[in-house]
Structure formats: C-alpha cells, structure tokens
A and B are shown apart, each in its own frame.
Chain A
Amino acid sequence: MSLAERACVSGVGETAYVRGSPKSAFELQIEAALAAIADAGLRPRDIDGVIPIGIVSGIAEDFIDNFAIPDLHFSAVIPHGGASPVMALQAAASVVASGICRHVLIAFGRNVSAAANKAGARIHAMPQFHYVTEFEHPLGNSAPAQIYAPMARRHMELYGTRVEHFGAVAVACREHAMLNERAIMKKPITLEDHRNSRLIADPFRLLDCSLESDGGAAVVVSAAAAGHDAPRPRVLISGVATGHPDSPASITQRPDMTSLGLAKAAPRAFRMAGVTPADIEVAEIYDCFTYAVIRQLEDMGFCAKGEGGPFVADGRLRLGGALPTNTHGGLLSQAHVWGLNHVVELVRQLRGEAGRAQVAGARLGLVTGYGDLGDGAIAIMRRG
C-alpha cells in the first residue's frame, strides 16, 4: 500500500527569525508549535503524535505536560540534523496513514547565540560526528564548512563547477529574501559581492555559508481523510523518502564524496508521487551551503551529474526562472531552523499564501532535507 497522498500538511507556523533571541530554544519551539496548531484549526490537546526536531529543545513529555495531551499515541526522535524535518514528514505520514494518529506535530526551536551552540562546537557532542571528532577535529577539521569543502572542491575539479555557479545560488536566495518580511538578510548582493566575500574554507566563501540564527518552526501532519474542518487548503504529501550515503558518518571515507543520501531517496519519492522533476513548479532545497543545492539538483535528476553548476546559472532558480528555488530566502538568507522553514514555505506556496514571492499558480513542489554529513530526505507535495 502506497503512502502517496494519504497524509497532508494541515498547519504551519514560525516565530520571528532573529540573531540573539532572548527566548530559549524550547520557548521558540512552543511558540511555533502553537502557531502551526492554530493554523490547522486545532487545539493543542488535539495533537496525538509528536516528533520534536533536534535534541536542544523540548521532548515529547514536555508537549504532553504543556498541552495537556490526554493520550499521545506516537512520538519519535530522528537524529539526522537538517534532514530530520523532512524525514519527520515521512514518519508522520506513515503513522497518520496507518491510523495510529490523526494529527502529528513536528516542531523545532533553536537558540545558537550561546558560544557552546556555535557550529564547530556543538557537533562534537553529537554521536553521528564521532569519526570527525576523533580523527579530524584534532587536525583542525572542525566545522561543517571545513568538513564539506572537499566535496565541493572535488566537484569543481572533476566537473568544472565554478565560483559563479555557487554565486548564482546565493544571489537567487538573497533576491527571494528581499521579498520576505520574515527573512533576516535584507541587503541585495551580486555575483561580484559573492566572489569578493572572504574565504571561510576554500572553496566556500562567507556568502556560500548559511546563517546562524535563532527561531522556531513547526508543521502539523494530518491524515488526508482526517475530516476535520481545516481552515486552509490541504497540501498533500504525494511522495516522501529518506536515504543515507555510504559511509554516512565520514565524508573522508565515502566511496563517492560527491553523492548524497538524497540520490537514493529521490527516485523513490518521484515514483511514489508519480511525477518527474520536469513536473516540479517550485523547490525548497536544503542550502546549508550553496554547493549543497547544486549537488542535490543533480542527485534528484534535474540535471546529469556534474551539470549542476551550469544548470543554476542564468537565473533558473530565481522567481520567473524555470525552477524557482528557496522562494523564502533559504538557510542562506532567510534563517536557519534546520530546513523546517523550507517545509513551511513549500506549504505556503502550494496554498497560494507566499505573498510577493508567490510562484503563480504553483500546484506541485518539493522540499529536501540534508543532515549531518549527507543524510537526505525529500517530500513532493501537491495542492489537494
């Protein structure tokens, strides 16, 4: 039995995205959760499944306590970093399709303003980074920018991918952020600004790197047949899949370091949805680094391996281009909440609620997640 269109996203919510929030990660998570539940036309106690994202904010018990949930039927923790929100859509769709739950909450909050929470510090407390922590951190390979950079360098050397290809991703995201009142980055950038931004970990420059920001985001996944009076248009989960690269915990040891878990997941998701990349009208692609967008476009089959650089040139990812991507500004220019903001944006696009960044008439889109060192997830969604 296929999972296709057995579940829908019934509610989405976000906090303001800022740097230096006075609120704790849990407060931000709860604020976003309440917004998503209200958006779904539900009361907090109607939630009967919860998937808290990450390990720095609330756990299932906190939601039972604060929402007075009388009978929680399901909870799970998905420990795959930025792939977790889209992986959680798969888990949530599975439990509502099978009748275990009616309404599953997926919620995340983060406050990275404390020094201990900065990239390069926090990952070394996470078990999935144990190889990096033991064998690479002592050499100075400490943070995602450094750890991922050899993937991008190899892609450049093998396929001729260029700095301006990375720049095209950064510029498209920034243009979209300029249209979004919930985006942190408000200053326009050009390809020259990108090229002239300082090197962080060659080939990554400052404008290749996603933001560090505080905030929360949440979605509610309901059974497509739940039958409650949802106030918003339904957005159906048509195809969803997750995948892991070989040697998931070490990029150094990965047989092909230019391939991600998404390469395994994407064909399954497209098959489930019964569509092809050519049918996709809007894409929200996990953009921890500009290169990650190029790599994932190849892994999903939008272009052949090695052709992702030229594919993103000439404005293809911009509004009005052939594949408007990261219409909210992405992790690069809106905010970094592990890509749950990408799920929120895709739902808004498919409802027709994306404001100045609306892709006219969009009915079919996709969102990806990319976590830790290459775990991947994809959800293809359709206006119901």
Chain B
Amino acid sequence: MTDTPARPEPPPSALSAAYWEGLRRGELLLQVCANCGVPRHYPRLLCCECYHDGVHWCAASGRGRVHSWTVAHYAYHPAFAAELPYTLVTVDLEEGPRALGRWYGGALAIGLPVRVRIVQREAGPELCFEVADAAAS
C-alpha cells in the first residue's frame, strides 16, 4: 500500500447519475434526445435542437477518432504525481459528441481510429481509449 492520495471523485449530479452508473457497468452512455434523437455529451438539461428535456441513455459504439491530446508532465493534483507522464486524449465519437479519456498506447495522430476501454479503479471507473486495430485482434 502506498500513501498516494486518492484521485478526485466526480461530484454527484442528478443530470449525470446514469452516465456514471453506465461506466461502472462498463458502458459509455450518451444522452439521446427523447423527442428528436440527437445525441449530446457532456450531460445537460436541454436538447439544443428542439429544447426537449427528455432523454434516453444509449450506449455509444465506443468507436471514434483522435481529435487532439496532451501529455501531462506536471501533476496539479497529488494523486497523479506517480503516473507522470500521462496522456489525455480527446476523441470524436462515431455518434458526434466528444469524449476525453486516458491513453496508455503509443504515438498519437489526428484521425487515428480508436475504441473505448473502461478500467474500474478504486476511485471509480476510468474512461480510456486504445488503438482500434489492436483491440480488434
């Protein structure tokens, strides 16, 4: 057991409770407008196409492409100091919205096909992405 401080936990929010429940089950869920079917993320109250507030929570395909990334070399929260350097990747999901996840793979490029992988950690589920081809093999 190390004395690494715990990662920050997401503050509870009624709007996004279903999202976190999904991640804990190993599913990436997106809000889909119950009226017009447009998906949205991060969770918010209204559909900005039709202003309806009803949603269905639908599992994303998990497929996407790299939009951008950064490699953290400095820890602004002590929980991450032992993980340096670590990579955060922004992904265009197939459904349209984006997601931010951790990346444990190699070199990144805009447009690289990736797929989601959810790792259950002590502080909660961690959204990760990995190269799509490697996961398919």
Contacts and interface: CB of A to CB of B under 8 A. Distances in A.
Interface of A: 118-121, 124, 131, 133-143, 145-146, 149-151, 153-154, 157-158, 198-203, 250, 252-253, 257
Contacts of B98: 252-253
B56 interface: no
Given A149-B70, A199-B73, A252-B98, A140 B88 contact: yes
Nearest to B12: A134
Nearest to B70: A149
A60 B55 CA distance: 42
Determine which residue in B13, B68, B73, B97 has the highest number of CB atoms from chain A within 10 A of its CB, and name it: B68
A153 B68 contact: yes
Interface of B: 7-11, 13, 16, 41-42, 67-77, 79-80, 83, 85-86, 88, 90, 97-102, 109-110, 123-124, 126-127
B88 A154 contact: no
The 4 closest A-B pairs by CB, nearest first: A120-B76, A149-B70, A150-B68, A143-B76
Given A137-B8, A146-B88, A252-B90, A200 B100 contact: no
B9 A202 contact: no
B20 to A, nearest CB: 9
A139 B100 contact: yes
7 contacts: A120-B77, A121-B76, A137-B8, A154-B68, A157-B110, A253-B41, A257-B67
A141 B73 CA distance: 12
Contacts of B99: 252
A141 B97 CA distance: 18
A133 B11 contact: yes
Contacts of A201: 70-74
A132 to B, nearest CB: 9
Nearest to A205: B73
B77 A142 contact: yes
Given A150-B68, A201-B70, A139 B101 contact: yes
B14 to A, nearest CB: 12
A189 B55 CA distance: 54
A200 B13 contact: no
Contacts of B10: 133-135, 137-138
Contacts of A124: 8
A140 B74 contact: no
A126 to B, nearest CB: 13
A134 B42 contact: yes
Nearest to A198: B73
A134 B70 CA distance: 19
A292 B90 CA distance: 19
Nearest to A123: B76
Contact of A151 (B68, B71, B126): B68
B42 A131 contact: yes
A260 to B, nearest CB: 15
Contacts of A154: 67-68, 110
Contacts of B126: 138-139
A201 B68 CA distance: 13
A153 B87 CA distance: 13
Contact of B77 (A137, A153, A202, A257): A137
B8 A150 contact: no
A174 to B, nearest CB: 21
Nearest to A151: B68
A200 B42 contact: no
A202 B71 contact: yes
A36 to B, nearest CB: 33
B102 A139 contact: yes
Nearest to A155: B68
A145 B74 contact: yes
Nearest to A120: B76
A119 B42 contact: no
Determine which residue in A138, A201, A202 has the highest number of CB atoms from chain B within 10 A of its CB, and name it: A138
A291 to B, nearest CB: 12
A139 B42 contact: no
B62 to A, nearest CB: 17
A12 B109 CA distance: 47
A146 B72 contact: yes
A250 B98 CA distance: 10
